[in-house]
Amino acid sequence: MFIGHFAVGFGAKRFAPRASLAVLLAAPLLADLLWPPFLLLGWEHVRISPGNTRFTPFDFYDYPWSHSLLMAAVWATAFMLIYWALQRDRSAAVIVWFGVVSHWVFDWITHRPDIPLYPGGNGRYGLGLWNFVAGTLATEILLFVVGVWVYAGVTRARDKIGRYGSWAYVVLLIVLYVGDRFSAPPESVPQVAWTATIASFVFLLWAWWFDSHRTVSLTEE
Ligand SMILES: [Zn+2]
């Protein structure tokens, strides 16, 4: 899953209005933020094999440290504690925990059975939505639209950066998501890892930027 994870981050603003969107996005994206450096370090492995599922050319045969259920809980707890230590916002810290774990659930729905429960475990899980291209696109785009709609409902642009910066972000993500599906598979694993790392960095920084130019319009008790 790709923009479905962004949907969780956008929607989380409703429940953690004081947290920056960048943090709320980093939580559900965390497994995919850890995955590229783990690939480059040789801790995890992926094969580029077009046709692996209809939607993606990747064969995720070894990624227990970023993507197993147990590690999702570990990373979630670590992220929650760090966030709480820095911000002392308990409800946002809990939302961050659920955000990180949601990655596993969403990937479980989309991936073919390739996700482990814990490092070293033999079982592999996944419902395989990726075998249905239209179903995948519809599910992810619908989730994304709902997430953005929630975010737009609880925040208000203070200036042009808050307004156009956020819309450009949303449109570009959808274009990249759909475009990626119809472009040629990447040439090498390091290319995938570096592209993903740089793109994540840019998208998180950009989210922080426009989010800091929007005000939460939710009335809080
Ligand atoms: Zn993932």
How far is residue 212's CA from residue 32's CA, in Å, rounded to a whole number? 24
Q: pLDDT class for 77, splitting at 50, 70, 90?
A: very high
How far is residue 112's CA from residue 109's CA, in Å, rounded to a whole number? 8
**pLDDT score for 95:** 98
The count of C-alpha atoms lying within 13 angstroms of the C-alpha of 141, restricted to the half-sphere facing its C-beta, is 13
Element at 145 (helix H, strand E): helix 133-154
Nearest Cα residue to 215 out of 15, 13, 27: 13
Quote the ligand 1 centre to 158 CA distance (angstroms).
Answer: 33
- Looking only at the bridges linking them, the beta strands covering 45-48 and 214-216 are unpaired
Quote the ligand 1 centre to 48 CA distance (angstroms).
Answer: 16
Quote the ligand 1 centre to 5 CA distance (angstroms).
Answer: 9
Average pLDDT, the chain: 94
Cβ contact 57:185 at 8 Å: yes
pLDDT tens column, 141-167? 999 999 999 999 999 999 999 999 999
Q: pLDDT class for 219, splitting at 50, 70, 90?
A: low
Cβ contact 132:173 at 8 Å: no
How far is residue 170's CA from residue 13's CA, in Å, rounded to a whole number? 15
How far is residue 122's CA from residue 144's CA, in Å, rounded to a whole number? 33
pLDDT at 56 over 60: yes
Quote the ligand 1 centre to 4 CA distance (angstroms).
Answer: 10
Nearest Cα residue to 67 out of 93, 106, 96: 106
- The SS3 assignment for 164 reads helix
Cβ contact 212:33 at 8 Å: no
Exposed, middle or buried by CB within 10 Å (0-12, 13-18, 19+), for 147? Answer: buried
Average pLDDT over every residue of 34-59 = 93
Quote the ligand 1 centre to 151 CA distance (angstroms).
Answer: 22
Quote the ligand 1 centre to 37 CA distance (angstroms).
Answer: 13
The DSSP symbol for 188 reads: -
Quote the ligand 1 centre to 209 CA distance (angstroms).
Answer: 25
Q: pLDDT class for 183, splitting at 50, 70, 90?
A: confident
pLDDT tens column, 4-21? 999 999 999 999 999 999
Quote the ligand 1 centre to 203 CA distance (angstroms).
Answer: 16
Quote the ligand 1 centre to 69 CA distance (angstroms).
Answer: 11
* Cβ < 5 A residues, ion ligand 1: 31-32, 107
Quote the ligand 1 centre to 29 CA distance (angstroms).
Answer: 7
Quote the ligand 1 centre to 201 CA distance (angstroms).
Answer: 16
How far is residue 157's CA from residue 163's CA, in Å, rounded to a whole number? 5
Quote the ligand 1 centre to 103 CA distance (angstroms).
Answer: 6
Quote the ligand 1 centre to 13 CA distance (angstroms).
Answer: 21
